[in-house]
Amino acid sequence: MSNPLLNIPLLPPFEKLEPELVEPAIAELVKTCEQTLQQGLKAPSWENTLVPLEQAQDQLNKAFSPVSHLNSVLSGQWRAPYEAGLTQVTAYWTELGQNRALYDVYRQLAQSAEFENWQQPRKQSIELGLRDFELSGVGLQGQAREQFAANSRRLAELSSQFANNVLDATSAWTWHTEDESQLFGLPQTALAAAHSAAEAKGLDGWLITLEGPSYLAVMTHAENRELRREVHTAFISRASDTGPQGGEYDNSEVMEAILTLRAEQANLLGMKNYAEFSLASKMAADAEAVLEFLNDLAERAKPAARSEISELREFATDKLNVDALQPWDIAWVGEKLKQQRYAISQEELRPYFPYAKVLSGLFTVVEKLFAVTVEEGTDIATWHSDVQFFWLLKNGEKIAGFYLDAFAREKKRGGAWMDTVSSRRQTPEGLQLPIAYLVCNFSPAVGAMPSLLTHTEVTTLFHEFGHGLHHMLTQIDVAAVSGINGVAWDAVEMPSQFLENWCWQPQAIAMISAHYETGEPLPEVLLEKMLAAKNFQSAMFTVRQLEFALFDFRLHASDAPLKAEQVQLLLDEVREEVAVVPIASENRFQHAFSHIFAGGYAAGYYSYKWAEVLSSDAFSLFEEEGIFDRKTGEKFLHNILEQGGSRDALDLFVHFRGRQPNIDALLRHSGIEQQELNISPS
């Protein structure tokens, strides 16, 4: 039987994929890439060397993409084959990054007479390629070269292990009761989901898990303070040395090993620390610029955050008889205060945001902005019955596609993300369309009740679709810089955060909301309350994000890699400087901080705030011209979304906005007093 992974078409044949097919397919595809390179080096040129190599690597990427994806959304039987494939793929890319002969081809092309006459995407792919070769240790010799390669392979394994520990720890803990009074305060949607979770395990009653919807429902609504404490403790101690699972899935040694190897990589390249290595491929000029940005923003936000937490404590004491505000009280008390002040809650809004209506409304928003339509695909294989596939069309013609896996389930990685199935590129057969995965973890339908989203979940869907549009609306045909490829990591969040703004616009809200039973629009009184509450505790949220960003950056800017105990001390130090909420003694946030230990955000978590300056300022032009102004939408489409990584992110922003980025819009949108900040993302 032929192996379907050897020749993946545009859409993976998920119905034919089996775990045992992975290892032999990846081995063969890696071999093909290596042979293609050797053939291309015989007469080096763009056409002879880089074009066929891109074609071979595209087949490798399209084969490994569904394997990596299935490991994230199904885990279980896909873990071992994914890790085996990861070992082979990492080894290939590591060796390629140190291939001196290929590096010389890039150098020769960059110095050639025709280089200046090339179109920008091709030129950019060469320039970024040269940078990436240098960051891959192409200039190293002997033992240093071998050590760098070995470290790269080991880092890939450790990142996967870190993520596995977090997933296993999350899945392993549950809390079961047959006494519904223990769950008093939980909304009906959460109770139904807990009952369904219990039934799935063959249990009577209700089952609370650490999956996002279940955890958040308890922390926000459960009147049972002891339950909140127990669930909170289990969540914040996941994959660590403490808490109810202490030591069982402990990431302490994994974390230490990752930090040690990252520091070694940077040192081998002559850099002081991993932060310097990370910034070599980002917008920010240097570590000082990042720290100045974060510290100045913290200085402005912390007074407001202190005021918000003081208000919360006073309300807890005076109105709720909670004398000592604990970490497991924060969300619950905050929800009570929000309801008192604005007479609004996420649960009151939930019936007006049925998933199907939000999704169709999102598509309408995007059509108005960028003149593209969305059409559900038919007879397309997926990995789960909940998953949908859609085509993106322009003037009736298919230009891209995406899978949407929206709902939480067991053995599925938490959070939300966008990933690549295939990139837009020219092939011998014609244009290959960009295809994306969009993944969320919303509460699924239970019985006759459809999936109902909180407004926070609505913004999550818009956020991930913004990432998807960045990938899918590209007009660049060189794979290395099409879509999100080649985009500076501290700019890659801009389109996603940008699209979130429409979740707060009355015109757009009318498109994405309707009561799931009656079809009635969101009442004006609820809309006004929702908008009035937009910046409720926004300063507390801001300093929390700054806590994570400062911790991450200072962790990787350290002169020497830290041990687990020192990592905790650093986090405690950062919290002392910027945090305002109480922290439980069992809190081991770092042990489950997958963004920096199992994702691409190491020494780059600051990107969320950095890119938010760009996204807020970009949206301010729509505020000036009209939120559905077609001319402004086309301007954003042509200058940002279509360009991918073909040009410098700051240059693209300036082309769109007509000036350098300004932080005023971010401060205004966040409700933080506007003061002059000594920062610039340029």
Catalytic residues: 464
CA gyration radius for the chain?
Answer: 25
Q: Please answer whether residues 500 and 522 qualify as being in contact, where contact means their C-beta atoms are separated by less than 8 angstroms.
A: no
Rounded CA gap, 548 and 351, in Å?
A: 33
Rounded CA gap, 520 and 525, in Å?
A: 13
Whole-angstrom CA distances from 35 to 49, 52, 56, 62, 246 are 11, 11, 10, 18, 48
Rounded CA gap, 46 and 55, in Å?
A: 13
Rounded CA gap, 268 and 96, in Å?
A: 18
Rounded CA gap, 674 and 459, in Å?
A: 24
Rounded CA gap, 318 and 321, in Å?
A: 6
49: which 2 tokens? 């060397």
| Amino acid, res. 82 | Y
| Amino acid, res. 664 | D
Cα–Cα nearest to 535, from 342, 402, 664:
342
Q: Which residues contact 564 (CB under 8 A, 6 or more apart)?
A: 241, 252, 253, 255, 256
Rounded CA gap, 420 and 484, in Å?
A: 9
- 520 burial level (CB within 10 Å; 0-12, 13-18, 19+): exposed
HSE toward the beta carbon, residue 141, CA cutoff 13 A: 0
Cα–Cα nearest to 57, from 529, 336, 423, 524:
423
Gap between the terminal Cα atoms of the chain: 55
Cα–Cα nearest to 507, from 656, 337, 626:
626
565: which 2 tokens? 């105990």
Rounded CA gap, 465 and 275, in Å?
A: 29
Q: Please answer whether residues 644 and 483 qualify as being in contact, where contact means their C-beta atoms are separated by less than 8 angstroms.
A: yes
Find the largest Cα–Cα distance for the chain: 80
The single-letter DSSP state of residue 658 is: S
Q: Please answer whether residues 313 and 325 qualify as being in contact, where contact means their C-beta atoms are separated by less than 8 angstroms.
A: yes
At residue 393, φ and ψ (nearest 5 deg) are -125, 145
Other beta carbons within 10 Å of 534: 14
Which residues does residue 176 pair with via DSSP β-bridges, in sequence order?
Answer: 207
At residue 43, φ and ψ (nearest 5 deg) are -140, 75
Four-residue CA torsion sign, 366, 368, 369, 371? positive
Whole-angstrom CA distances from 655 to 28, 196, 607, 616 are 44, 51, 21, 16
Q: Angle CA(107)–CA(112)–CA(115) in degrees, nearest 5? A: 95
Q: Angle CA(132)–CA(137)–CA(139) in degrees, nearest 5? A: 105
Q: Please answer whether residues 262 and 556 qualify as being in contact, where contact means their C-beta atoms are separated by less than 8 angstroms.
A: yes
Cα–Cα nearest to 34, from 93, 75, 86:
93
Residue spans of alpha helices (H) in 431-532: 455-472, 494-500, 506-512, 524-532
Whole-angstrom CA distances from 403 to 320, 430, 518 are 45, 23, 29
In terms of DSSP bridges, do strands 430-432 and 206-209 run parallel, antiparallel, or are they unpaired? unpaired
